[in-house]
Amino acid sequence: MHVQKEKKDLIVPVQMDIDSTFTFACEKEMACYTKCCKDAHIILTPCDIIRMKKRLGLSSDEFLQIYTTLGYIDKTELPIPVMKMLEDEEKTCPFLDESGCGIYEDRPLTCRYYPLSAGMFHNKDLHSDKHFFALVKESHCLGHDLGRELIIKEWRKDQGIIPYDEANFGWQELILKRKSLGPFFTIPEKTLQMFFMGCYNVDRFRRFVSDSQFLNVYIVSEERKKKILEDDLAMLDFAIDWLKTTLLGDDKLKIREQVSETDPVEVEA
C-alpha cells in the first residue's frame, strides 16, 4: 500500500492477522514526524476520493484532475488514482502543512493504516475473502518499538479504518476477481474506463445513470434510486453492483424484460 520509493530502505514485512500486535508511536516531537508524507506513493481508494473531494468542496472530476495521477493496481492493468505530490525538492504531499496533515479527519486509508500495509486474499476452498496485514519498517521512521503495544483490531478502530474498509469491500472483490483470471487475460480499454468511472468518479457515474438510458435498461427501486442520487457512498455501492453485473456476469442488477441484454448503455469517455 504506502511505500517509499527507495525500496532498499524497507525491511521485508511479515504477514500478520487481525489479532497480531505491534509496538509503534508517532508524535510531533519526533525527528521523523511527517517524513512519511514526502516522496510517498499513496494510492487512493474509492472511499478516499469521496471523503477528500467532499472535504475540499470539489467534484470528483476536479479532485482527480488537481490532486491525482494515474497508477495501476499491482499485477493488473486496472487503473487507480495516486496522490500527486508537489513539485518541490522533497515531493511533499499537497495536504501537509506546518502542524501536520491538513485534512487529517479525511486522510486516505493508506495513511490511516501506516505503518501497516493491508490486503485481502480469496480462499477458494472456503469461498471467502480474508484480510491480511504487514508491518512495514522504513529507515526514516523512528516510531517502531516505541510507545505501547497495539493490536491491529484496535488500531483499525482507533484510526477510523473500519468504515473505509467496509465501503471499499466491493471494489476489493473486483480486484481479486481480476487477479484470479491470471496474467494472460486482457481487459478491453472501454471496460477499464467503466471500472475507473464506477470506482473513482462517483459524480460522473451519477450523470451517466441520470442522463443515459441506464434507468430504462436496469430495474432500480425508487428507494435505491433516491439514495444513489443523493448519497455518494450509496452511489459507489450501486456502481460496484453494476460493474459486477457487467464485467463479471454476477446477478446484481436485473435488466427489464422488454430490454434486450445487448442494448447498449454507452459509457462517456
pTM of the model: 0.88
66 pLDDT above the threshold of 50: yes
Residue in this structure with the C-alpha cell 453485473, named with its chain if needed: 245
Q: What is the mean pLDDT of residues 210-226?
A: 95
User: Is the pLDDT assigned to residue 223 strictly greater than 70?
Assistant: yes
Q: Which of 78-92, 223-237, 247-261 has the lowest mean pLDDT?
A: 247-261
C-alpha cell at 72: 495501476
**Mean pLDDT for the chain overall:** 89
Give the Cα separation of 195 and 4 in Å (integer): 27
Tell me what pLDDT residue 245 has: 94
Give the angle subtended at the CA of 24 by the CAs of 21 and 26, to the nearest 5°.
Answer: 150
- Between 165 and 264, where is the model more confident? 165
3-state secondary structure (DSSP) of residue 76 = coil
Q: Domains of the chain: which residue ranges?
A: 3-176, 187-255
Mean pLDDT to the nearest integer, 211-239 = 96
For residue 6, is pLDDT > 70? no
Instruction: List all residues 6 or more positions away from 134 whose beta carbon is below 8 Å from its beta carbon.
Output: 13, 14, 15, 16, 116, 117, 118, 119
Q: What distances in angstroms separate CA 84 from CA 77, 210, 250, 266, one per listed residue?
A: 20, 31, 35, 30
Q: Please determine, for residue 126, whether its predicted confidence score (pLDDT) is greater than 50.
A: no
d(CA 19, CA 16): 8
Q: How far is CA 260 from CA 119, 212, 264, in A?
A: 39, 16, 9
C-alpha cell at 225: 434510486
Q: Of 72-86, 94-108, 128-142, 183-197, where does mean pLDDT reach its minimum?
A: 128-142
**Residue 57 backbone dihedrals phi, psi, to 5 degrees:** 70, 35
Split at pLDDT 50, 70, 90, the class of 260 is low
